[in-house]
Chain A
């Protein structure tokens, strides 16, 4: 009985401490993004100067554009590759199937640093692909396609595949079945993998850092390089935006869901 009382008291306290530990840095970040201090480390009065900077700052705009472009292309290419791979793995028997199945795991299990290093060597020494948009996209797809494969493969196990047989039975050939039945049914999984891949690609630092070219760069890398120059206000503002936006998004979604349930 006594031990239970102690646990009851400790649990909420430790929970609060954990939350504080996790959130204080972020809250500080948000607060100081409005501070009049160039380095964003002290409070020196309220200002929106730094937010204005983002809009005018060419460097940030280019980096943002690159991150978005890379993320969108990666999502499209990776989900296409992932869906087709999952379909083949689930439905067909072929030579090397086991090998493919396990090798798909590799990009996810190998540490980012190793992947990044290997890709760098591959691009510069072996295939001579210039570092830039192309190398980054290839690197991102290499990691994301297996992710998409797993998500879609997981969903495939829960689908009633007589749906495809019914479609054929009703007069649809393979392509029509794929278009009108298979893809729509797989859509939730494809969307789910897109929802996983987009933030990953947008946020990725390590792998991108290895294969990024000189000059053009993605947002995370831009922020990192800005840090080097001591301009921490950038981090604060970008960080704030990327914390507030998703939270707002989740709150809105929650609200909408509650509304639907009523």
Chain B
């Protein structure tokens, strides 16, 4: 017997969905806890949007079960499910006003007209849409339209809000603002969010739990910090920006440390992981911001120290992306150099430098 109070808001058990020629969702199991922001993160075509649509009822699954609040809803049509979707295209009804859009779901549920007015009023206030009730979507800005789409779904007080890359079409500044807004609204209303995105920055900033997907499979689930700092596979590491990936095998393991050697003979020290999956260690990844660049001949104690030459420096505004080739073995390493305002940078391309990072910064890759 499932204890309904603690039942996860949404559960997927062995869900499979194929389209001609491709398995879009490949035996996915996951649980979304009540009141949390759960993100599906992954590159285009990884199956995250299909998974979301399966929960919404906009696609029918081939195998497995989907449960909302402990009840199996596989055969419940989309218009009867207690979830609401915010689409990537927003899908605001162009021929209706803001009020008409927000009221649409309530009208379908035959909610009393007076009650509808009250609920719309609450939503307009929550979303900061005051004064725009009678406008049509074409008369609103991108951010305003965003908020109407949200309002339209939230006003129904669904068990779960499904968001399909809703910030994808916004410019950087607006996206950052909306991220904060979303988080605030979620906290205030307490509704469970299932959020789909390909943008790891967005996922990191708003999620309680992130599930990384690739090729229809769930690769890793964890908190934002887990996924960013300890991505478990090469694919996830690359996707999260830990762009220094050294494939290799374990050579030594003494005490807290474990040494991994690449094919080219580069030896990297990492801390022994707590992962008990028994999977084979296949390499190490390191985030560029964790690697220090020091002048040639610098003396550092312990950790990973390698000598190399700068091949490229790319200005990024808040830092300088620096590519260094390791002398002995030839690997190309990316490290971030802090950019110093108004001063000549310490290093320049062609210069010989020393790279250094601590064993704790080495992330072990499995499988």
Contact = CB atoms under 8 A, between A and B. Distances in A.
B78 A169 contact: yes
Given A168-B58, A170-B104, A172-B108, A163 B79 contact: no
A168 B91 contact: no
B108 A170 contact: yes
A163 B93 contact: yes
A172 B107 CA distance: 9
Nearest to B78: A168
A181 B79 contact: no
A165 B153 CA distance: 13
A187 B109 CA distance: 26
Given A165-B87, A168-B79, A171-B79, A181 B108 contact: no
Contact of B108 (A162, A165, A176): A176
Given A170-B105, A171-B105, A171-B109, A184 B87 contact: no
A162 B91 contact: yes
Nearest to B81: A169
Nearest to A165: B58
A185 B96 CA distance: 10
B94 A170 contact: no
Interface string B215-251: 0000000000000000000000000000000000000
Contacts of B78: 165, 168-169
Interface string A161-194: 0110111111111001000110011010000000
A160 interface: yes
Interface string A219-262: 00000000000000000000000000000000000000000000
B336 interface: no
A181 to B, nearest CB: 6
Contact of B84 (A163, A170, A173, A187): A170
B120 to A, nearest CB: 14
Contact of A166 (B77, B85, B156): B85
B138 to A, nearest CB: 13
Nearest to A164: B91
A185 B84 CA distance: 22
B79 A172 contact: yes
Nearest to B53: A165
B89 interface: yes
A169 B89 contact: no
Interface string A82-95: 00000000000000
Contacts of A169: 56-58, 78-79, 83-85
Contact of B93 (A165, A168, A173, A181): A181
Interface in B16-70: 56-58
A65 B321 CA distance: 80
A169 B57 CA distance: 8
Contacts of B108: 170-172, 176
Contacts of A187: 95
A166 B95 contact: no
A167 B79 CA distance: 8
Contacts of B93: 163, 166-167, 181, 184-185
Contacts of A184: 93, 95
B113 to A, nearest CB: 16
B268 to A, nearest CB: 47
Contact of B91 (A163, A173, A180): A163
Contact of B156 (A168, A170, A176): A170
Nearest to A166: B91
Contacts of A181: 93
Considering residues A160, A166, A172, which has the most beta carbons from chain B within 10 angstroms of its beta carbon? A166
B152 interface: yes
A162 B86 CA distance: 10
Nearest to A172: B108
Interface string B88-120: 110111110000000011001100000000000
A160 B89 contact: yes
Given A171-B79, A172-B79, A162 B87 contact: yes
Contacts of B91: 160, 162-163, 165-166
A175 to B, nearest CB: 11
Nearest to A176: B108
21 contacts: A163-B91, A165-B87, A165-B91, A166-B87, A166-B93, A167-B93, A167-B104, A168-B79, A169-B58, A170-B105, A170-B152, A171-B79, A171-B108, A171-B156, A172-B79, A172-B104, A172-B108, A173-B79, A176-B108, A181-B93, A184-B95
**Shortest Cβ-Cβ A-B pairs, 6 listed:** A171-B108, A170-B105, A166-B91, A162-B91, A184-B95, A168-B78
Interface of B: 56-58, 77-80, 83-85, 87-89, 91-95, 104-105, 108-109, 152-153, 156
Given A162-B89, A168-B58, A170-B105, 17 more contacts: A165-B58, A165-B78, A166-B85, A168-B79, A169-B58, A169-B78, A169-B79, A169-B84, A170-B104, A170-B108, A171-B79, A171-B108, A173-B77, A184-B93, A184-B95, A185-B93, A185-B94
